[in-house]
Homo-oligomer: A and B are copies of this chain.
Amino acid sequence: MQKSEVTIHDISKALGIDSSTVSRALNDSPRVSSKTKAKILAKATELGYRRNSLASNLRTNKTYTIGVVVPRISRNFFSNVISGIEETAYENGYNVIICQSLESLDREQKIMNTLLSNRVDGVLISISMETTSFKHLEPFKNYGTPIVFYDRPCNYGGCTSVSINDFEASFMATEHLIFNGCKRIVHFGGPQHIELYQNRKKGYISALEKHGLEFDKTLFLETKLTEEDGVKLAKKVINIKGGVDGIYAANDTSAISAMRYFKLNGVIIPDEISIVGFNNDPISVVIEPSLTTVNQPDFEMGQIAAKALIDQIKEKKCKTKALVLGSDLIVRGSSSKIRLS
C-alpha cells in the first residue's frame, strides 16, 4: 500500500554504498565487484526497485523504443508484419509502440509528431494511402532518427524499403489469368501515387502486353480497395461494355467483397469471371470458391524491417536502399475453369 517509488538512492542509503555504484551494479557493469553487485541486486529486489526508464532515457538520449506506423492493424497482413517486428525488436531489447494511421495523412502526421516527442530511436512505417508529401518525415532527418519503410516502399531521403517485388508478383498473377484463358482482365488498382500500386499496375500491363493483349484504360479501376470499394467495383464490372472475364485485384479485401457481390447476383466464379487477389488473407481460403492470391512473407517482412532499422540505429550498417523479398501465387478455385474446393 506504500506509494513508493524506490530509486537508486534508496538502495544507496540502505546499504551505505554510493548511488553511482548502485547504478553501475544494476547495469551489470564490470567495474563493480561481484560481492557488492550481489548485495545491491538483493536489496533492489527486496525494496521492489524498478528502473525509471524516463530518467535513464533522458540521460542516455536513447529510448530503446521503435515506433511502428501501420495503416490498419485489423488487416491480417499487417498484424502478421507487426508480430514479426515485435519478435525481432524484443530479441534485441527494443520496445515497440504501434500506431494506426487508418490510411489518413492527418493522423499519420500527428503520429509522427508524438513519436518524435517521445524520442523513439527509429521508425518503421507503411505510409497511408493519402500520403503524397513527406514533410512530416523531415524532422527525423534532423534528429538523425532512422526511418525504414515496409510493404509500401518510398524514395525518400535514402531510407531503406523492405517489400516484395510487386511488379513481378503482379505480372505472375495477371499471366496466370491469361493462361487460364482470360482476355478481358480488369485490374482493381490502389492509389497511383503509391509506388506499390504503381508497380502492381505496371506488372499487370506488362503481362498483358507480353501476351499480345492491349491495355484497355477502361479496364483499370482505381480506388482505395476497401470492402465498400469492392462492391462498387463489382457493380462497375458487370456494366463494362464488351464484358470482362477476369479480375486481378491489388488486395484481397476488395477481391473478396466483389466476389460476394457477384455470388449474390448470380455471376459464376470462375466460369464467368476468374479472380485473383493479393495478400492471402485468411478469408481467401474460406470463401467459396477459394480465392487465388499472392502470398507475401508478412511475418518475415516484419523481422527483416526491424532488423534493418535496428542496424541503422546502431549505425553499424550502411543503409541498403531496398530489401526485396520473394512472394508466390497460391492457386485456388477462383481462377481455374475447373472448380476446386
Chain A residues packing against B (C-beta within 8 Å):
1-5, 48, 50-55, 57-58, 63, 73-74, 76, 79-80, 82-83, 86, 90, 95-100, 102, 110, 113-114, 116-119, 139, 141-144, 256, 260, 264, 282-283, 286-288, 341
Contact = CB atoms under 8 A, between A and B. Distances in A.
26 contacts: A2-B142, A3-B144, A5-B143, A48-B139, A50-B116, A50-B139, A54-B57, A54-B63, A73-B79, A74-B76, A74-B79, A74-B80, A74-B83, A79-B79, A82-B100, A83-B100, A83-B102, A96-B99, A97-B97, A97-B98, A98-B98, A260-B286, A282-B283, A283-B286, A286-B286, A287-B287
Contacts of A79: 73-74, 79
B95 A54 contact: no
A63 B341 CA distance: 53
A79 B54 CA distance: 29
A29 B244 CA distance: 64
The 5 nearest A-B residue pairs measured at CB: A74-B79, A53-B117, A54-B58, A98-B98, A97-B97
Contact of A287 (B58, B102, B139, B286): B286
Contact of A114 (B73, B95, B116, B256): B95
Given A4-B142, A50-B116, A74-B83, 18 more contacts: A3-B142, A5-B143, A50-B139, A51-B117, A52-B117, A53-B117, A53-B118, A54-B118, A55-B58, A73-B79, A73-B98, A83-B102, A90-B110, A95-B118, A96-B99, A97-B97, A97-B98, A283-B286
Contacts of A52: 58, 117, 119
A48 B86 CA distance: 31
A287 B57 CA distance: 50
A50 B117 contact: yes
A260 B286 CA distance: 8
A157 to B, nearest CB: 11
Given A74-B79, A80-B74, A118-B53, A142 B58 contact: no
A78 to B, nearest CB: 9
Nearest to A90: B110
Contacts of A86: 100
